[in-house]
Amino acid sequence: MKQAVRTLAYAISFVALLAAPATAQDIKAGDLVITKAWSRATPGGAKVAGGYLTIENKGAAADRLIGGSADVAGKFEVHEMAMNNGVMTMRHLEKGLVIEPGKTIRLAPGGYHLMLMDLKSPLKQGDKLPVTLEFEKAGEVKLAFDVQGVGAKGPATGEGHSGDHDMKHAPGHSGMKK
């Protein structure tokens, strides 16, 4: 009987491990909560990669994501993709990305994202990629991107976003058309 109970306990533990989401830990920095940090694996020789995450501002004042760094990249910038006159364009947000109080910003493929440029080595599926984000008020925040497969649409939890974004937070941006 004890053997059967022990075997059942092991089986339940194993299933619980399989069911646990494979996501990065929530990071708190001042009034900001950063979740779902991920990137895609890159083919050998690729010189750029994207970084994606969700930032919630639980405070009473706006903050601004102004940049960051990663040992694997020579350059790290905040970017936006948008449709302009039927053409998808990408631009560096030189003044950063404002996170208004009480709002949540999703950096995801097809919208706001982080660009890691001049890669020194490819990103491999299953890796944890350490990065440092720089915020105007919250300062430097260290976290790790969960590196997903080359064609991944979101973090391992399956809660990825298809590119629909609340674009009203970008200064001077009137919205994104699909």
Going from the first residue of the chain to its last (178 residues), give the mean pLDDT of each consecutive group of 10, the final group possibly shorter: 42 33 70 97 94 97 97 97 91 96 96 97 96 97 96 67 35 35
The number of folded domains in the chain is 1
pTM exceeds 0.85, yes or no:
no
Alpha-carbon torsion angle 45, 88, 73, 132, nearest 10: -150
pLDDT at residue 157 in the model: 55
CA atoms within 13 A on the CB side of 172: 5
pLDDT at 57: 98
H or E element: which one contains 139? strand 139-148
Q: Does residue 36 lie in a domain region? A: yes
Is 77 among the domain residues? yes
Q: Which domain holds residue 142?
A: 22-169
Provide the pLDDT for residue 22.
38
**Cα atoms in the 13 Å half-sphere on the side-chain side of 4:** 1
Q: What angle do CA 10, 16, 17 make, to 5 degrees?
A: 90
Q: Is residue 107 part of a domain?
A: yes
Q: CATH number, domain at 114?
A: 2.60.40.1890
